Amino acid sequence: MGPDAHRGRSSGGAAAVAAGHSRLDLGSDMVGSVRMPAAWCGVAALRPTHGVVSNRGHLPWPSRLRLEPPAATVGLTARTCAELIPAWDALLAGAALHLGPADTAPPTERAPRLGLWLPAVWPATDSETRRALERWCTEAADAGCDVVPVTPPRAGRSEAELYGRLVAAQIAHGAGDLSPARPLLADLEEQADVAAAWTDGVYAGPGAVDALVCPAVATTASLLSDVPAAQRTATVDGVEMPAESLCDWSVITSVAHCPSLVVPVGPGDESGLPVGAQLLGAPGSDRALLQLGCRLEALGLVRFRTPSPSGEPA
């Protein structure tokens, strides 16, 4: 794990899984380090409900520390959602916490209800990725899914800044610096409020959805760069911005501690590269979310495409 581990660029496991060198990858996801590579490589990945699987004994959290980190989770990557389920069962068997009924409930037979979240301004999403998600949601509706537009509450820049403070506190505490401890308590209370707002506003009541659909990352994969991370930029629809902004989707979808299932939704119509979507479930609904992913695979809406020797998806 390199110096950019907290910025969504630390995992090479997704590439190994896509290439067939590995069937499963276990990694840390604090700001997209499992989700972003999975989206760019066209494979499936799960960032579980925060706190379900302990980080003790797993980088970047030293095993000598007793508290669980406030941001990072242990995540899984495989080619399909079906392959993630036995890995999730094995991981959950050793978990310190146990999920409630939502995780053990049998799959429902009713049509999945999906909420599409594609804000116009922030987080940034390029036109190719936006078209891919919109096209996929149209295909999902044609296949019998109920797709509705949804905007979660408390999903703005202030919540992203809150998560940034939680990340900074985790990094400092992991390094033995306890100075962020006092403001961390207030931030944890605010984070709990955000999680409750998402649960009540997205996953409960008459407008409740089974999963919130949104981009995993703003663009398809870019070329490798030797430019130092702090100086690197990304281009989104002709607008140059700091490369760090590509992590915005990972940041804002981590605040509410929802489980996130990344699935491939097809190649981009310009680049031909994989486009990944996040399916966000209610906290504790990890198994239901994986079962939903398997349903979407059975409907032909989600499928792994083997990379060709030329680099184009087969």
Can you give the pTM of this predicted structure? 0.87
Q: pLDDT confidence of 177, banded at 50, 70, 90?
A: low
| Contacts of 61 by beta carbon, 8 Å cutoff, 6+ apart | 55, 68, 69, 72, 170, 174
Rounded to whole angstroms, the Cα distance separating 65 from 172 reads 12
Q: pLDDT confidence of 243, banded at 50, 70, 90?
A: confident
Long-range contacts, stretch 169-175, CB < 8 angstroms, 24+ apart: 169/70, 170/30, 170/61, 170/69, 170/70, 170/71, 170/72, 171/6, 171/60, 173/65, 173/67, 173/69, 174/60, 174/61, 174/62, 174/65, 174/69
Q: pLDDT confidence of 7, banded at 50, 70, 90?
A: very low
Three-class SS of residue 193? helix
pLDDT in tens, 97-151: 444 444 544 556 788 999 999 999 899 999 999 999 999 999 999 999 999 999 9
Rounded to whole angstroms, the Cα distance separating 156 from 202 reads 15
Interior angle at CA 18, CA 12 and CA 23, nearest 5: 90
Instruction: Spell out the domain ranges in the chain.
Output: 5-222+245-298
Tokens of 158: 């202030």
Least confident piece of the model among 55-59, 68-72, 158-162, 286-290: 55-59
CATH superfamily membership of 5-222+245-298: Amidase signature (AS) domain (3.90.1300.10)
pLDDT in tens, 76-102: 999 999 999 999 998 887 655 444 444
Rounded to whole angstroms, the Cα distance separating 55 from 69 reads 7
* Amino acid 41: pLDDT: 93
